[in-house]
Structure 1
Amino acid sequence: MQRLLDVFSLASVDLTFSRLDFWLFFLVVMIFFSFLHKNKLVRSIYLTAVSLFFYYKTSGLSVFILVFALASNYSFGHLIAAQTKETSRKVVLAIAVILNIFVLAYFKYAYFFTSSFNDFFHTDYEVFNMISYFKNGFSAYGANDIFGRLLLPAGVSFFTFSSIGYIVDVYRKEVPPIKNVFHYSFFISFFPHLILGPIVRAKEFVPQISKPYSLNKDEFGWAIFQILKGIFKKLVLADYIAVHFIDKIVDSPESYPGFVSLVAIFAYSLQIYGDFSGYTDMATGVARLMGFKLMKNFNSPYKSLNTAEFWRRWHISLGKWWKSYLYIPLGGNRTGGLASITTISIIFLFLFFFTKWFWLLYALVAFIAIYFTVLWLFPHAKKIIYRDMNLMITMVVGGLWHNPNQNYLVWGALNGLGLVFYNHWKKISPYEQLNHWLVRAWKIFSTFTFMTIARIWFRVEGKSEPFDYFNHMVSKFHFNIDAFLLMCSTFSIPLIILVLGMILHWLPERNETWLENRFSKSSFAMQIVTSCVFVIGIYQLVADTSKHFVYFYF
């Protein structure tokens, strides 16, 4: 009882999906929801209030940032629709987008830019943290006060992206502005997708708000299966191998042969997939129990035959967002111009500001000169040049969105190069059209290996450490059977889980569908017993290995 009271008190409690506190919270929410769901407006008001409370428990006073985003973007949507002149519509849209990006940039990058500015100009400016100021009762906070840091509000990227997508879609007249403020607030803040997605779009989610609550037995079973699958991915495939294997190797790679470092980074690919897709599995299951459908966000990405297919299978909602609101506005594969050159210039200047490498300024001038020279000499290749340039911009911006440092820029650039290379390689590849199982296996292996190696710059912290890790992995590979057997005996359980996770991932989709259908069509008693045994077993196995979701930091 005390734990339940703590969950609904104003005290901070971790309500992430993998913790018992969340499921106590969700149980109470569902009890009241069962009485309130028939009236659609009451349902939206109730779920908006629940979502704001959930966000308060997750991010404290940052809930006011969310409230501001809801109020401002609801108003902008109606203001855009009310304009009769195209120029006025564009002005309001620009103001709305800039405001959203400013809020996102402030909370994600304020400390970074202030620190870089101080280093560059030898100043001593500090970021004024308004939330800390209010939290500490309008008094100066000490250097050791946890609230003296500008804590990144959970999910700020995801609800900002949803908001920008909504106002752009209203501008494009793809959706009408949502009339009721509570329906709009519910659409943006619905707690299953609020923190880590999937990113919802109005044309997919809003029509569900007007529909009556519906959940049959098969849908209930499907939702429970998604939740159980997500728990398994998060706590076993992600957290257990991270704590008992990956973190030990990555934190001190020099203590192990290079091939062990290679195995660890392959294991990290499984960890981040289990971590992120596990969250979205649980999110879609929770949302379905409440009568709402969220899009599938991961589709077995490590089965991809090439880098382009990988990004169609990985974090699908974010990939579609980048395509709709960055890649296509830049010109996509049709055109490029001022927007593309401006974006590239900002990236180069950002790097110069961060690294103080003056050669970047010369590189920027050289790039612009080469760009216009190539367009002049090879006008028939314009579309190819535009496509490759816009792909690189999109992936680099995606990398910097994760974190404004050189590691994520390298990671984004590697992924961009992978996409550009594939677009050219597929035209000359001798086996692109072959479907032999050996060819498919090679394509899957090479794609998975490339994406995994690129993740060194995603996982390893520090400016030089990722390069050191890669160098150690290659130069100190030194594979021998005795070292291999020692690794297997030292990390036996994590490695067994790693192999199990890879096998499960690469099994044909029909196997998962069969198991999903069997569970969904079984009796309620069997589902309850199976769920209880499964959850108790999982938590017994991983009682000491819980970690925050990786994307909480983004």
Structure 2
Amino acid sequence: MVFSSLIFLFCFLPIFFFLYYLADKRYKNGIILAGSILFYAWGAPRFIFVILGTTVIDFYVVRAMAAAEKTAFRRGLLFISLSINLGLLFYFKYLNFFEDNLNTVLTLFKMKPMQWTKLVLPIGISFYTFETITYVVDVYRRIHKPLKNFWDYQLYIILFPKLIAGPIIRYHDFAGQIYDHVEYETTEYKLRGFYRFCLGLGKKVLIANVVGSAASSIFDLGDQLSTTTAWIGAISYTFQIYFDFSGYSDMALGLGMMMGFRFPENFNNPYSATSITDFWRKWHISLGSWMRNYLYIPLGGNRVNSKARLFFNLWLVFLLSGLWHGAAWGFIIWGAYHGLFLVLERLFLGKWLQKLGKGAFVYTFLVAVVGWVFFKTEHLDKSMEFLHAMFTWKPDTFVWRADREFITMTAMAVLFSFFTLVPIGQKIQHKVFFEDYSMRRHYLMATAMVILFFLCAGRTTITTFNPFIYFRF
């Protein structure tokens, strides 16, 4: 069940909030938990028991770890918990990838390849695993005490707005909200949550789906691909993945606000960034924060003895970030590619980019466009074929024609990707998302969002192209 599906918009969502708002505050968390289990089970009924089972183990292992006094015993329990969670992630997400690569090597040496069952990837397993790790590690570091009630922990892990594709919320930042979110469940917060949800829905359905459909068609052209068409496809996917994922994040934040939860922002106009370093402060912010706190800092962070070690740590973190996104060489190359530019900016590029000021966003955008080719195609041979078409002039052998809808939505994508480069854009964004609303603004915004909601619902009824890219991670 995806947020932009008709069954979610017209069945799950109204029934859930009807029951939630009708319930006494003592039972609201129970309604959320039951709704979250149903939401996940609808899309992955076989795997809901994997999540429920591992949360039981984690809850009691972490409680024992928190109560233990001996360091060795605490470390042993930490190791057990991390092994279970990372082991499940490896089993479902990476085992077939390593098997395929091992079989390639065995075939080169004329040895018999291994046979293993092809595994189905549970939706959202990477996000679920990362949040579990934050709970385990934060308690181990004594940053926060463990939850006393198992159902409260279950709620933190399986809360449906963030379960499938984030944002990744540190346990330390969320623990108190399990008990106090009802206090934030005001009319103002509910309305602003609804506005945020509708804006995210518009990003997803009206922009991402339209440019994404074109991108998929172009990436499937193969030998018919011309240079012009290749660039159109790459740029279309660049806009698709941004409006798809930031749209989902807006919907997640909006749903959370309607229940009184305060989720962290996950995007901050990344295509207006003036460097790749700045891009990663603004793209998938919660993942960047997780990587910094649980990988980069434990590796030594900025406190290492040499620049070579610093650059290696930085590059390694982004290599692992690519691997986290998916079990394919395209994702790994994508992570290494971004890590390389981060190192180059530390070495010399950063000084040049500072001289360009805001104009450096062109560099950032072009680097991102090329990187997304690896992300989209996943297989290196297809990536190189597509990049070859982009950078080696190849005339049109097949004319891909853009329709009026694609041109309109691409123009909207350009506008909303770059409008904060000017002060008026920043002012508008701040008023829409962060400033208090007057009653007049509420009337105007509510009317506009209801119209947008039904426009999106109508668009959904006439198209079958409605994926969420990050649901598969």
Q: Is the shorter-chain TM-score for this pair beyond 0.5, marking a shared fold?
A: yes
**Helix, strand or coil at the partner of 1:476:** coil
After TM superposition, list the pairs within 5 Å mapping 1:148-187 onto structure 2: 149-187=118-156
Q: Residues 429-448 of structure 1: matches in 2 within 5 Å?
A: 429=351, 432=354, 434=355, 439-448=356-365
Q: After superposition, where does 1:226-237 map in structure 2 within 5 Å?
A: 226-237=196-207
Paired with 1:72 and 1:276, the residues of 2 have a C-alpha distance of 31
Measured in 1, the distance between the counterparts of 2:157 and 2:324 equals: 20
Partners of 1:512 and 1:431 in 2: CA distance: 25
Alignment partners' CA distance in 2, 1:520 and 1:268: 38
Question: Is 1:25 aligned to residue 20 of structure 2?
Answer: no
Provide the C-alpha distance between the structure 2 equivalents of 1:523 and 1:496, rounded to a whole number of angstroms: 27
Give the secondary structure class of the aligned counterpart of 2:312.
helix
After TM superposition, give the deviation of residue 528 of structure 1 in Å: 5.2
Describe the SS at the equivalent of 2:147. coil
1:173 and 1:518 map into 2 onto residues whose CA distance is 36
- Consecutive unaligned residues of structure 1, counting only runs of 5 or more, are 1-14, 129-148, 336-381
Partner of 1:329, secondary structure, is coil
Identity %: 28
Show the counterpart of 2:384.
467
What are the within-5 Å matches in structure 2 for residues 79-98 of structure 1?
79-98=64-83
> Which deviates the most, 321-330 or 532-541?
532-541
Q: For residues 289 and 89 of structure 1, what CA distance do their matches in structure 2 show?
A: 39
1: distance between equivalents of 2:459 and 2:437? 23
Q: Equivalences for 1:48-67 in 2 at 5 Å?
A: 48-67=33-52
1:43: how far off? 2.8
Contact in 2 for aligned 1:240/1:545 (Cα 8 Å): no
Aligned residues: 460
Tell me the TM-score normalised to structure 2 length.
0.91
1:314 alignment partner in structure 2: 283
In the alignment, is the contact (CA less than 8 A) between 1:301 and 1:310 conserved in 2? yes
Q: How does 1:261-280 map to 2 (within 5 A)?
A: 261-280=230-249
Contact conserved, 2:230 with 2:390, CA < 8 A, in 1? yes
Q: 1:535 aligns with which of 453, 464, 467?
A: 453
Counterpart in the other structure of 2:337: 414
Map of 1:491 onto structure 2: 403
Q: How far is the alpha carbon of 1:253 from its aligned partner?
A: 5.0
In the other structure, the counterpart of 2:90 is 105
User: Could you report, residue by residue, the CA deviation over 1:450-500 in whole angstroms, capped at 9, with x for unpaired residues?
Assistant: 111111111124331111111111112569xxx9xx76x643421221122
Instruction: Rate the CA distance shift 1:37–1:127 in 2: closer, same or farther, 3 A.
Output: farther
CA distance in structure 2 between the aligned counterparts of 1:43 and 1:431, rounded to whole angstroms? 50
Residues 407-435 of structure 1 deviation map (CA, whole Å, 9 limit, x = unaligned): 212111110001000111256x2562x5x
Residue among 329, 344, 350 paired with 2:298? 329
Partner of residue 217 from structure 2, selected from 248, 251, 255: 248
Opposite residue 459 of structure 1, the aligned amino acid is K
Distance 1:241 1:430 in 2: 33
Q: Aligned in 2, Cα 1:383/1:108: closer, same or farther, shift over 3 Å?
A: same
- Tell me the distance in 2 between the aligned counterparts of 1:420 and 1:287: 37
Q: Distance in 1 between matches of 2:445 and 2:324?
A: 41
Give the aligned residue type for 2:418: W
Alignment equivalent of 2:417, drawn from 505, 509, 522:
505
User: Counterpart of 1:17 in structure 2: which amino acid?
Assistant: F
Alpha-carbon distance, 1:513 to partner: 2.9
Cα contact 2:203–2:247 (8 A) shared by 1 = yes
Distance in 2 of aligned mates of 1:431 and 1:172: 39
1:522 positional shift: 4.0
Match of 1:36 in 2: 23
With over 3 angstroms needed to count, the CA separation of the structure-2 counterparts of 1:524 and 1:31, relative to structure 1, is farther
Post-superposition shift, 1:83? 1.4
Work out the CA distance in 2 between the residues paired with 1:477 and 1:232: 36
State whether residues 47 and 186 of structure 1, in contact with CA within 8 Å, keep that contact through their aligned partners in structure 2: yes
Contact persistence 2:296–2:314 (CA under 8 A): yes
Contact 2:198 2:453 in 1 (8 A): yes
Consecutive unaligned residues of structure 2, counting only runs of 5 or more, are 420-424
Give the aligned partner of residue 339 of structure 1.
Answer: none
Structure-1 residue corresponding to 2:208: 238
Aligned-partner SS, 1:210: helix
Structure 1 length-normalised TM: 0.78
Partner SS for 2:466: coil
**Other-structure match for 1:223:** 193
Report if the CA contact (8 A) 2:195-2:446 is conserved.
Answer: no
From the superposition, tell whether residues 281 and 383 of structure 1 become closer, same or farther in structure 2 (CA, over 3 Å): same
User: What one-letter code is carried by the residue in structure 1 that aligns with 2:411?
Assistant: V
Residue pair 1:253, 1:472 contacting (<8 A) in 2 also:
no
CA–CA separation in structure 2 for the residues paired with 1:253 and 1:519: 50
Distance in 2 (alpha carbons) for counterparts of 1:422 and 1:37: 54
- Contact 1:253/1:261 (<8 A) preserved: no
Q: Is the 8 A contact 2:227 2:389 kept in 1?
A: yes
1:519 and 1:20, CA in 2 relative to 1: closer, same or farther beyond 3 A?
farther
CA RMSD of aligned residues (A): 2.4
Tell me if the contact between 1:239 and 1:545 (Cα under 8 Å) persists in the aligned partners: no
Check the 8 A contact 2:225/2:389 in 1, yes or no.
Answer: no
The residue number in structure 2 matching 1:354 is none
Cα distance change on mapping 1:43 and 1:536 into 2, 3 Å: closer
1:196 alignment partner, SS class: coil
More deviation, 446-455/26-35: 26-35
The answer to whether structure 1 residue 301 and structure 2 residue 270 are counterparts is yes
**SS in structure 2 at match of 1:387:** helix
Superposed CA deviations along residues 336-361 of structure 1, whole A, max 9, x for unmatched, are xxxxxxxxxxxxxxxxxxxxxxxxxx
Note if contact 1:37-1:213 (Cα within 8 Å) is conserved in structure 2: no
1:549 equivalent in structure 2: 468
Aligned CA distance change for structure 1 residues 215 and 530 (closer, same or farther; 3 Å): same
Q: How does 1:186-225 map to 2 (within 5 A)?
A: 186-211=155-180, 212-225=182-195
In the alignment, what sits opposite 1:454? 371
- Which amino acid in structure 1 is aligned with residue 430 of structure 2? T
Q: Please state whether the residue corresponding to 2:175 is helix, strand or coil.
A: helix
Shift of residue 191, structure 1, vs aligned partner: 0.6
Counterparts in 2 of 1:494 and 1:253: CA distance versus 1, 3 Å: farther
Change (3 A) 1:184 1:460: same
Aligned match of 2:422: none
Distance in 1, matches of 2:341 and 2:463, equals 38
Q: For residues 400-411 of structure 1, what are the structure 2 equivalents within 5 Å?
A: 400-411=323-334
What residue number does 1:286 align with? 255
Secondary structure (helix, strand or coil) at the match of 1:464 reads helix
Compute the displacement of 1:553 (Å).
Answer: 1.7
**Once the 2 structures are TM-superposed, how far is the Cα of residue 509 of structure 1 from its aligned partner?**
2.3
